[in-house]
Structure 1
Amino acid sequence: MIFIEVIKEYFGEFEGETVWQWTLINDHGMRMSVLNYGAIVTSLETKDKFGDFANISLGFTNLDDYLAHSPYFGATLGPVAGRISKGQFSLDGKQFQLTQNEGANHRHGGKLNFSKKLWDVSVEKALEQIVMTFEYRWADGENGYPGNIDAKMTYTLNNKNEWLIDYEAQADQPTIYNPSNHIYFNLNGEVGSTVLQQQLWVNSDAFLPIDEASLPIGEIRSVEGTIFDLRAGREIAEVTQSDDQQVKLVGDGLDHAFILKHENGRPDAVLFDPKSGRRLEMETACDSVLVYTANSLAGTFEIDGKVVPKYAGITMETQGLVDAINHDGFGDIVLRPEKPFTSRTAFRFTVES
């Protein structure tokens, strides 16, 4: 019999500090390994329909690879995930300029964002779950953001085979906040393989079309009659092979935010791999999920000695709408001292025979 367990191991050194890896194991043998650097999930092991366990996320086995490459494998993004046009925004009549780390635009919180920070970590083991708590103080003015932001997250692995992410934040002056996690899933668990034969379902009637810089054009577009209609599910290969201009724009795939319907009793998105029988259900309090099909990963680095191909994984980045601060009707990502931020995303892992 397997009992809930936590294993802590040395992973490397970063700026004179130790990077640790914690491996959380639930009663069913599901394992999640996490670093204090970037709150990065390095691996997530679940079983398939044959009872065999494999890592279903993309990640490296050493710190040097995380420092050398920036695909954001398993990492926390923020303070604001996604892109902000020209790194500029207006808040309460004041103009702010954030650092520009992708051409003229600001991406994922800037160059030294949440994914590049050492977080304070505590771990609590309970009867049915393990809870990892991460805390980091983002300093006023860092990367151009106004206000000190006390960021907190918990990762919970429970005996329902769920990974729960709870985000919290407080600020001492008005600022913007819209974090996410950039884990890449590949449910077949085979290093060097693609997700093209996996099936994706998203409970969404609308998505955000983007421009050449992957920034929203300001329109909320219906999925009706387009390849973006995933309400009945589609094989990912069907999407990547589409002639839709939006699919072509990002290298033949998805890098788009879907506005979620949030219907009670239904997940917000489902990913399914017919070969392994693994099924992933996602539910979130966020307005949208950004789905990225790893269109630009092609062969620039390796995992376990195997080249990472294009379409090696797929993300479900739950967040408020991209560049919301610069578009009317895109929702509110302002964090104010009198109103702390809270949000939950749940990933649930099951098997179909």
Structure 2
Amino acid sequence: MELTKKVFGRFENQDVYEYTLTNKNGVSISATPFGATLTKLVTPDKEGKRENITLNVENLEDFASNRPFYGATIGRVAGRITKGKFTLDGKDYQVDVNEGENMLHGGPNGLDTKLWDIVVDESAGRLVFTYESPAGENNFPGTMQIRVTYTLTEENDWVIDYEATTDEATLFNPTNHVYFNLTGDIKKPILDHELELASLKYVPLAEENLPSEEKASVEGTPFDFQTAKPVKEAVLSDHEQIKPLNGLDHPFVLDQGKEVKGTLYDPESGREVTFYTDCNSVVVFTHNGEVDDYTIEGEPARQYAGITLETQTLPDAINKKGFGNIVLRPGETFQSRTTYHFGTRD
């Protein structure tokens, strides 16, 4: 395993580095302690050509000022919390909102906005990020000790391990907001990527893109990815859950009986991502509009420039019966793992 690092930018009057791990197969991951963010993921295509297959901004200043979430660690709670309200152990809480009346991705000062500590273990191909989230941050209860570990293996796996403890009952439901574009060219849309998911149900969205109370069958809908199909078959459909958004932004309930939770494949490059997780859902978002607040390779981030596979407990689980448990208590240790495996097909 090879390790390199370079200055990525400055934050709070200190240099922030980008660290790159490269394995024997030419697969590499790059990450920065700002937001415990994946900045690049380079893999070879079927011809051996190495290219970055993730969507991301190019400098720390754009991360800090525009908060695009690309590749970042999201929390304390990923997704939306309705009205920023929840009840825990009989006490009502109001956390900070940042999307209308709702909380999105941890609030206005989520984990993606923080400068984490980092320990590098080159021999193990590991980047270990740690952050202490104080009680009251974004108005959440409890001081939390959070650790996120990125491991690159010689078998072409990117493993994300989450671990956390708290001194007071609180909520924790992290994810990584990685966007894949397996063509290696973010100017090309991901509409021809083929997606397969071990999912029989999805969660329809209600007003303000909040998750509804139900888990709906994918059968007979564009949300059926039980067999691999081009993403455009869903994204460009007239389905009432898709057309208003111009694409997907939906949680899919994952089949816990299957080891492989899904695959994403690009026929042009031959690149394939297979993912595994102990989470009960994956949120698939197809970058449904152009973003011109910043440039990537000199141009705005185009519509459909990437697709997320955000593994997590179902969004707004604290307010939705049967969505899963995101409560963390003193004496408990939160642990979760998601693995993305990279390969090619001829």
Both structures adopt the same fold (TM-score exceeding 0.5) = yes
- Residues 32-68 of structure 1 show CA distances to partners (whole Å, capped at 9, x for unaligned) of 1100100111110000001000000011222122123
Structure 1 residue 299, shift from structure 2 partner: 4.4
**Mapping of residues 19-168 of structure 1, within 5 Å:** 19-126=16-123, 129-168=124-163
In structure 1, distance between residues paired with 2:294 and 2:192? 23
In structure 2, distance between residues paired with 1:300 and 1:196? 23
Find the residue that maps to 2:331 and give its secondary structure.
coil
- Residues 155-181 of structure 1 show CA distances to partners (whole Å, capped at 9, x for unaligned) of 000101000000000000100000000
- Say which of 2, 5, 16 aligns to 1:5: 2
Structure 1 residue 259, shift from structure 2 partner: 0.6
Find the residue that maps to 2:63 and give its secondary structure.
helix
Report the AA paired with residue 209 of structure 1.
Answer: P
In structure 1, distance between residues paired with 2:239 and 2:199? 18
CA contact (8 A) 1:299 1:310 kept: no
Report the AA paired with residue 85 of structure 2.
Answer: Q
TM-score, length basis structure 1: 0.96
- Say which of 250, 256, 260 aligns to 1:256: 250
Is there any run of 5+ residues in structure 2 with no aligned partner, and where? none
**Mapping of residues 175-190 of structure 1, within 5 Å:** 175-190=170-185
Structure 1 residue 243, shift from structure 2 partner: 1.0
CA contact (8 A) 1:196 1:237 kept: yes
- Say which of 320, 335, 342 aligns to 1:342: 335
- Residues 288-340 of structure 1 show CA distances to partners (whole Å, capped at 9, x for unaligned) of 00000001334443211123210000001100010000011111100011221
- Say which of 178, 191, 199 aligns to 2:194: 199
Deviates more, 1:16-25 or 1:312-321: 16-25
CA contact (8 A) 2:70 2:178 kept: yes
In structure 1, distance between residues paired with 2:180 and 2:105? 19
Residue of structure 2 in register with 1:295 after alignment? 288
Find the residue that maps to 2:210 and give its secondary structure.
coil
CA contact (8 A) 2:290 2:300 kept: no
Residue of structure 1 in register with 2:318 after alignment? 325
Structure 1 residue 191, shift from structure 2 partner: 2.8
Report the AA paired with residue 304 of structure 2.
Answer: Y
In structure 2, distance between residues paired with 1:263 and 1:25? 33
CA contact (8 A) 1:192 1:307 kept: no
What is the aligned length? Answer: 346
RMSD of aligned alpha carbons: 1.1
Report the AA paired with residue 232 of structure 1.
Answer: T
Report the AA paired with residue 270 of structure 1.
Answer: T
